[in-house]
Amino acid sequence: MARTNIKAIIQSDIHNVWKIVLAVENYDKWRSDVSKTEIINEKKFIEYTKDGYSTTFTVTVIKPLNRWEFDMENTNMKGHWVGIFTSKDDKTEIDFTEQVTAKKFFMKPFVKSYLKKQQAQFVMDLKRILEK
């Protein structure tokens, strides 16, 4: 199992950060790695990469303005994501942790570096949309 964590300060208040991150139906408008999202119900959605690869997310915890957790799965991996949001005056600290298990043996050596790349891209895109 690979475990990665990223922390960052976003130059926006927690209400804005929370609203943008949890509006998964709008991911295609600001995330550079997502082509579309499909909302299945209030607890489940599917995210598609630019080349059409899908990942299914099942929300397990929502504590407004504090914590969002979900399970995720696609043909290559299965895992869990935890997002902690903390207000710091007019800024927001985000603390995102992913734990993923590769489903294919040959992918195991690459999972951690892939997750780190994905987390960094998410934070960069988030800062770009919120720190205009």
For the stretch 60-98, pLDDT in tens is 999 999 999 999 999 999 999 999 999 999 999 999 999
% the chain with pLDDT above 90: 90
DSSP 3-state of 105:
helix
The pLDDT of residue 72: 98
Please provide the distance, in angstroms rounded to a whole number, between the alpha carbons at the two ends of the chain.
37
Tokens of 54: 């899908």
DSSP 3-state of 115:
helix
The pLDDT of residue 109: 85
Do residues 85 and 18 touch, judged by C-beta distance below 8 A? yes
Distance CA 47, CA 124 (A): 18
The pLDDT of residue 101: 94
Give which of 94, 121, 123, 120 is closest to 18, Cα–Cα.
Answer: 94
Q: Kindly tell me the burial class for residue 77, based on how many C-beta atoms sit within 10 Å of its own C-beta (0-12, 13-18, 19 or more).
A: buried
CA 50, 51, 52, 54 dihedral sign is: negative
Tokens of 7: 């922390």
